[in-house]
Amino acid sequence: MEPRAVGVSKQDIREQIWDYMESQNLADFPRPVHHRIPNFKGSYLACQNIKDLDVFARTQEVKVDPDKPLEGVRLLALQSKKTLLVPTPRLRTGLFNKITPPPGATKDILRKCATSQGVRNYSVPIGLDSRVLVDLVVVGSVAVSEKGWRIGKGEGYADLEYAMMVSMGAISKETPVVTIVHDCQVVDIPEELVEEHDITVDYILTPTRVIATGCKRPKPMGITWFKISREMMEKIPILRSLRAREQQAGKDVTLQGEHQHLSEPGRQQTVPLSVGRRPPDTPRSEANSVEAARGSPPGEGAPLAADVYVGNLPQDARVSDLKRALRELGSMPLRLTWQGPQRRAFLHYPDSATAQQAISCLQGLRLGTDTLRVALARQQRDK
């Protein structure tokens, strides 16, 4: 299908692509493809074309979205022994999972690792403090133009993931972006629909073509905070940690709709501080230590203002589960007191301000199906 002029809005374009792929039976499982990054017949063949790109041959660390039509690229990355990073679904528990096949994995095991189930079963989370340097980004698309303009499914996760990687220092403006689509998804997209937070792509792979877009439009240089709503901040805990870091660095992190609030008389602005950073004179062993308490409150006396209570832990939770979540949110304490039988833990931070910011970041955190209760330990004791 030749590139063609389509609708006047992003949603018009999405609907026309989805309808066309279904009506022409170009779509593949899972169907219907509406409201998805559409899988298509020939997606595996399109994925094979990435082997012809020098940027793939040179890459050591590649980030590939979890969409079904990109499964072939994930498999090729594993077969080529590249480090494969896959975003966590809807960024609920962090940003990346690193796919780690078992030693001596067979071809069948590698194929499983490349699937959505494999991402769950053969991966370890990568926290904000991990030193990640991504050489290549592979994203799914609903529509894309030969100029490099891209339209996703409308939820903004791919754009946000890219912006978060920029904020982490995991990618630069030189990092190439590849998308893999059916030929019918390559269409004309009016440039006026492209916004500053939208990712553009450098290469488009289809079952029949390899398109170098030569796109010169600047890619997003970080998170556009005024586009981020309070609701999104609640859904994506890692955003709270990134916001605290950027606030500490002196950047404007005003959220969507906050300007009106800040102008109201008598309303104070809460300024987030950095969370979970180990003071320079704190030994690493102390920063990572866990106090395995069994029935005594944290410390020898009353809880301090810098102690945080975490309750409603799942009965089968392990201390490693909580530590992993804290690392992903950038909220690691100096010490952690684990009281699993009582379904609680205490986090010990260097000062009350850091403890308060940790509480903000941990609100809404889930382990399994349980939402944790988080509060200052002193307040919890008073209750």
Contact present, 181 and 187 (Cβ < 8 Å):
no
- Give me the pLDDT at residue 257, please: 75
* Closest residue by Cα to residue 374 from 316, 308, 322: 308
CATH number of 10-212: 3.40.50.10420
CB-side neighbour CA atoms (13 Å) of 98: 16
* Closest residue by Cα to residue 202 from 351, 53, 376: 53
Return the SS3 of 138. strand
- Give me the pLDDT at residue 4, please: 47
Contact present, 65 and 140 (Cβ < 8 Å):
yes
How many C-beta atoms surround the C-beta of residue 11 within 10 A? Answer: 11
- Give me the pLDDT at residue 381, please: 53
Tell the CATH topology of 306-376.
Alpha-Beta Plaits (3.30.70)
- Give me the pLDDT at residue 90, please: 64
Task: Give me 145's structure tokens.
Answer: 């133009």
CB-side neighbour CA atoms (13 Å) of 101: 23
- Give me the pLDDT at residue 320, please: 82
Q: 10-212 and 306-376 share one CATH topology?
A: no
- Give me the pLDDT at residue 17, please: 96
Render each residue's pLDDT in the chain as its tens digit; 383 residues: 444 444 479 999 999 999 999 999 999 999 899 999 999 999 999 999 999 999 999 999 999 999 999 999 999 999 999 999 998 766 666 678 889 898 888 989 999 999 988 878 888 888 776 778 899 999 999 999 999 999 999 887 788 888 888 888 889 889 999 999 999 999 999 988 998 889 999 999 999 999 999 999 988 888 888 888 888 888 887 888 888 888 888 888 888 877 544 334 333 333 333 333 333 343 333 333 343 333 344 443 444 668 899 999 988 888 888 888 887 777 888 888 888 888 999 999 888 878 887 887 888 888 877 788 999 887 655 55
Return the SS3 of 354. helix
The percentage of residues in the chain with a pLDDT greater than 70, rounded to a whole number, is 82
What would the pLDDT profile of 200-226 be if each residue is shown by its tens digit? 999 999 999 999 999 999 888 888 888
| Rounded distance between C-alpha atoms, residue 170 and residue 173, angstroms | 11
Task: Give me 89's structure tokens.
Answer: 């679904």
| Rounded distance between C-alpha atoms, residue 158 and residue 212, angstroms | 20
| Rounded distance between C-alpha atoms, residue 31 and residue 221, angstroms | 35
- Per-domain boundaries in the chain: 10-212, 225-258, 306-376
* Closest residue by Cα to residue 38 from 56, 12, 20: 20
For the chain, the C-alpha Rg in angstroms (whole number) is: 23
| Contacts (Cβ under 8 Å, ≥6 apart) of 139 | 65, 150, 152, 158, 162, 177, 178, 179, 199, 201
| Rounded distance between C-alpha atoms, residue 253 and residue 275, angstroms | 16
* pTM, full prediction: 0.65
Task: Give me 1's structure tokens.
Answer: 């299908």
